[in-house]
């Protein structure tokens, strides 16, 4: 007995056929344009995100400066500043700012150092303690991960819109088929459903 499986006909919406409807051709163009737009949107979103991350890191580096601060209190009995893997503790430090004034704030310092020791801290343009600017490797990591996430979101948004348009086209196609079946039924004087 012969195998009754039929092969899948690829790109059937693009071929001329009496069974192809105009909505089939419109759907083919929508899918093609959707894939191209999704690819373009992903690439553009990725590049824009990389530029934004690099600009933000450059701004952070430009507004930050490292100063030498004096520890005001002992850092012996302090608890770690963050997770157990982070060995630094919070302690009060004092430093002279770019404006010549003396400033005091809490900073993360190595544990078990005595008052009067000097520690390096980073300050911003308003003489507030800030985190150390990102290193080159950290900037690359943030840029790449942000670009991948932005590209996935942009691509997903375009694919979602294409899916919605295809659902609309499918509903219209089914409505057209129902209307044509009804016309065939009533023309012959009988109804099938």
Domain spans, the chain: 20-58+138-186, 65-132
CB-based contact 59:52 (threshold 8 Å): no
* pTM, to two decimals: 0.70
What dotted CATH number matches 65-132? 2.40.50
Q: What is the mean pLDDT of the chain?
A: 84
* Confidence band of 162 (pLDDT split at 50, 70, 90): very high
* Confidence band of 36 (pLDDT split at 50, 70, 90): very high
* Helices within the chain (DSSP H only): 22-63, 136-187
For 106-128, b/e burial (b = at least 16 CB within 10 A) is ebbbeeebeeeeebebbbeeebe
* Confidence band of 166 (pLDDT split at 50, 70, 90): very high
- The predicted-structure confidence for 177-193, as pLDDT tens digits, reads as follows 888 887 776 666 666 55
């Amino acid at each position: 007995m012969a195998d009754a499986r039929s092969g899948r006909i690829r790109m059937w919406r693009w071929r001329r056929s009496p069974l192809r409807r105009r909505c089939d051709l419109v759907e083919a163009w929508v899918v093609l344009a959707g894939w191209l737009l999704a690819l373009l949107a992903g690439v553009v979103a990725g590049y824009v995100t990389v530029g934004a991350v690099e600009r933000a890191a450059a701004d952070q580096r430009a507004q930050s400066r490292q100063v030498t601060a004096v520890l005001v209190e002992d850092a012996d009995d302090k608890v770690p500043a963050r997770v157990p893997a982070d060995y630094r503790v919070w302690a009060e430090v004092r430093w002279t700012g770019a404006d010549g004034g003396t400033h005091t704030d809490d900073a993360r310092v190595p544990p078990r150092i005595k008052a009067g020791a000097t520690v390096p801290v980073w300050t911003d343009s308003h003489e507030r303690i800030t985190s150390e600017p990102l290193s080159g490797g950290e900037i690359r990591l943030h840029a790449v991960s942000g670009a991948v996430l932005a590209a996935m979101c942009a691509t997903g948004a375009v694919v979602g819109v294409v899916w919605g348009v295809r659902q609309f086209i499918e509903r219209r196609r089914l409505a057209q088929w129902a209307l044509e079946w009804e016309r065939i039924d009533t023309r012959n004087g009988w109804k099938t459903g």
